[in-house]
Structure 1
Amino acid sequence: MENLDHIDLQILKQLQENSNINTKELASKLFLTVTPVYERIKRLERDGYIMKYVALLDKKKLNLGMTVFCNVRLKEHARNVGSNFVKDIVALPEIIECYNIAGDYDFMLKILVEDMSSYQNFVMNKLSTIENIGNTQSIFVMGEIKHSTALTI
């Protein structure tokens, strides 16, 4: 972050709030002209500070109202076993996040499904077919208190 000045940080903050803002609007908010703001955005993209632009969707409207965190413990920890597990997990669209964690479990999965019946179907017909899973623990979200995609800058 040592290469970023206060203007770069303001650009990043504004884009986190609304990535759909056009360069003219952004320049106006920063009291700059369009060209330097455009060049700064391109540099931030090129340098990897901005990875991509996305639309955040309403999961409930898409019938994905149930969020489950599933902790997974592997039976063994050989390199090829872990790689195969990761490859299998990445292929499942219901799993929207996967973290390799320390502690009693090896991985934490964030899963979105329609309801409990859908989750049971997912576990029985997809998750249970992945080799080397020794133990799982499902945690069902009752309510979402805070959800943010913005990083503290």
Structure 2
Amino acid sequence: MKRILDRADERILAELTRNARIPHAELAEKVNLSRNAVRQRIERLERDSLILGYTIVAGEGKPRTAGVTALMFVYRHDRMRGGEVIQALKRLPEVVSCDVISGEFDLVVRVDASATDRIREIWQEVSVLPGVRDTLTAFALSSMIKR
């Protein structure tokens, strides 16, 4: 059953999107609810998979480890029955997104790794998966917009 969000849930999600570390008391004040009501709503949103996790996005000038981003385009033998390829990609922690796309290739996979050698290892793993017919990998030279 698909859950319908009320205005308070939408405001909670909007505030958490802006700052996932906001204290419940401060969030409660912003959305005009009690701290306990906010806590219960957040727990329900998590249980209903409307909140799947929390993350850190490093800003400009923040120390971060050097990394490499690549886009891997994957063509499967059978577009309709190629779910095992997606399951294998889910198990690779460096895979940060995987989208089904139209056109020549079936999937576009974004890979964030510590080094180009790790991208090569991932490419080797993916290219030999049962169901994968072909791949094309492109390295990101720089990131102009990252949200």
With normalisation by structure 1, the TM-score equals 0.73
Amino acid at match of 1:146: I
Deviation at 1:93, TM superposition (A): 2.5
Of the candidates 60, 73, 76, which is equivalent to residue 75 of structure 2?
A: 73
Aligned residue for 2:12? 11
Deviation at 1:9, TM superposition (A): 1.9
4+ aligned runs moved over 6 Å, structure 1 = none
The 1-side partners of 2:137 and 2:144 are apart by 19
Q: 1:37 to 1:62 in 2, by over 3 A?
A: same
1:38 matched to 2:43: no
User: How many residues in Structure 1 have an aligned counterpart in Structure 2?
Assistant: 142
Q: How does 1:90-109 map to 2 (within 5 A)?
A: 90-109=90-109
Q: 1:15 to 1:68 in 2, by over 3 A?
A: same
Deviation at 1:110, TM superposition (A): 0.8
Answer 1 or 2: higher relative contact order, Cα 8 Å, separation at least 6: 1
Q: How does 1:17-36 map to 2 (within 5 A)?
A: 17-36=18-37
Deviation at 1:71, TM superposition (A): 0.7
The 1-side partners of 2:84 and 2:36 are apart by 47
Of the candidates 51, 57, 64, which is equivalent to residue 61 of structure 1?
A: 64
1:86 matched to 2:86: yes
Deviation at 1:140, TM superposition (A): 1.9
- Conserved in 1, the CA contact under 8 Å of 2:75 and 2:105? yes
The 2-side partners of 1:78 and 1:26 are apart by 44
With normalisation by structure 2, the TM-score equals 0.75
* Unpaired stretches in structure 1, ≥5 consecutive residues: 149-153
* Unpaired stretches in structure 2, ≥5 consecutive residues: none
Deviation at 1:77, TM superposition (A): 4.1
Aligned residue for 1:151? none
